Amino acid sequence: MKILVISLAGIGDTLLATPLIHELRLNYPDAVLDALVMWTGSRDILAGNPHLNSVHHCHMINEGPWRSLRFLLRLRRRRYDIALNTYPQSKTEYRLITRILGAGVRVSHRYDNRRWWDGWLVNREVDQSYDRHSVDQNLALLEALNGRRMLASHSAELFLSEDERAWARRMAEERGWRGRRMIGFHVGSGKTKNLALRRWPLDFYRELIEKLLGLRPDLQVLLFGGPEERQDHEWLLSRIGSPRVCVPETREMKQAAALLEHCHAFLSIDSALMHLAAAVRVPHQFVIETATFNKTIEPYDRPYVLIPNPALQGRNLDYYRYDGEGIRGTPEALEALMRAVSSEKVFQTLAPCLTLPDNS
């Protein structure tokens, strides 16, 4: 038996597919179980996962249609028996990729944008629901295989090596962070479609960080992110001008996760780093509500504080659904939407956890 788990959407979505991968291994202990991902961060997330035999990686956006097709045809030669599209992969292109790979059993969710040809692209479907978390949406795919949940509970699974944890300890020691109260920020978000418009304004981050630095003299702020956030990080560093704000040089997602284990708190919107912070169980997690936030992608199996956006008033699904489209609204309107969450509101929400005793 050969099984392929297809996770071509976001990096955080791949992390939320790991409970399904674990259950598939338990249901099919002797199977060849592989994964297919598009983002380098997704490949990093799955590195070292003991339940997988191989992780196939192809950045199909960068590679373009013809090179991507050649890659898929080579992968087709592995003759997978089962291919599963994890949640949420709502675009028709994801189901077309599943068809090209040629597995006899092709499983996906039934999305808002379903068309008649989806019954040809995939041959087993499970209803999706905005009232159910992505982890549970993925586990529902087992039903299409007549499988069952064998674990009593689930959590996002990230397998950090001792070398990765030792690297984080060395960095904290060399930078003088040991003994400081550390808080992590992720100021970015995915940039596919128009999702960058859900970012909280940089000038609000500056105001917030400056207030937090004044609250506690031993506070150390870490700005997490990759090349896409470099310009934003440089802007913040130049305007705040404090050695207590820095950007750690992480080469991959698991290095970022190892550093997050040292953080007392973490703030972001609903991004991949939000899920990473939840997976390593950062003690205090805060999420600024965006138009794309809903039950399906909240931090899984972890307490967190949602900082509500007063402009949304529960209308998130009016702005964004899993239908292959971007966030509804003009760029100006969406940017104004995020400015409805003031830096003072976020400060008042975060401040109490930063003044708690060190063991809290």
Strand 284-288 relative to strand 305-307, pairing: parallel
Region 252-256: mean pLDDT is: 94
Q: How far is it, in rounded angstroms, from Cα 237 to Cα 112? A: 42
Residue 275: predicted pLDDT:
97
Q: Provide the CA 42 distance to its chain's centre, in angstroms.
A: 9
d(C-alpha 271, C-alpha 260), whole Å: 15
Q: What pLDDT does 42 receive?
A: 96
- 104: DSSP letter: S
Sign of CA dihedral 151, 153, 155, 160: negative
φ, ψ dihedrals at 57, nearest 5°: -130, 125
Evaluate if residue 192 carries a pLDDT over 80: no
Averaged pLDDT for residues 252-281? 96
Distance CA 196, CA 189 (A): 6
**Separation of alpha carbons 181 and 188, rounded Å:** 23
**The Cα angle at residue 210 between residues 208 and 213, in degrees rounded to 5:** 110
Spatial contact of 201 and 208, defined as CB atoms under 8 Å apart? no
Q: Specify the pTM.
A: 0.94
Beta bridge partners of 183: 221, 265
Distance, in Å, from the CA atom of 274 to the CA atom of 264, rounded to the nearest integer, reads: 14
Confidence band of 360 (pLDDT split at 50, 70, 90): low
Distance CA 76, CA 106 (A): 13
The answer to whether the 2-144 and 162-354 domains have the same CATH topology is: yes
Contacting residues for 336 by C-beta, under 8 A, at least 6 apart: 311
Nearest-angstrom CA–CA distance, 11 and 342: 28
Instruction: Please give the structure tokens belonging to residue 335.
Output: 């940017």
Classify domain 162-354 by CATH number: 3.40.50.2000
Whose CA is closest to 25, among 38, 16, 34?
Answer: 34
pLDDT of 77 > 70? The answer is: yes
Determine the Cα–Cα distance for residues 84 and 28; give it in Å rounded to an integer.
14
Q: Are 271 and 265 in contact (CB under 8 A)?
A: no
For position 226, what pLDDT does the model report? 87
Mean pLDDT score, 130-147: 96
- Higher-confidence position of 193 and 84: 84
* HSE-up (13 A, CA, CB side) for residue 256: 25
Supply the pLDDT for residue 359.
61
8 A C-beta contact, residue 56 and residue 37: yes
pLDDT higher at 194 or 319: 319
Domain extent listing, the chain: 2-144, 162-354
- Reported as type and span, the H/E element at residue 273 is helix 272-279
The C-alpha atoms of residue 30 and residue 23 are separated, in whole angstroms, by: 13
Instruction: State residue 32's pLDDT score.
Output: 98
- If you average pLDDT over every residue of the chain, what do you get? 94
Q: Residue 341 corresponds to which tokens in the numbers above?
A: 């969450």
Other Cβ atoms less than 10 A from the Cβ of 91: the count is 18
Return the number of other C-beta atoms located less than 10 Å from residue 169's C-beta.
Answer: 14
CA distance 187 to 273: 10
More confident residue, 195 or 210: 210
Identity of the residue numbered 197: L
Tell which CATH classification among 3.30.1540.20, 3.30.465.10, 2.30.110.10, 3.40.50.2000 matches the domain 2-144. Answer: 3.40.50.2000
Range with the poorest average pLDDT among 74-83, 106-115, 135-144, 277-286: 106-115
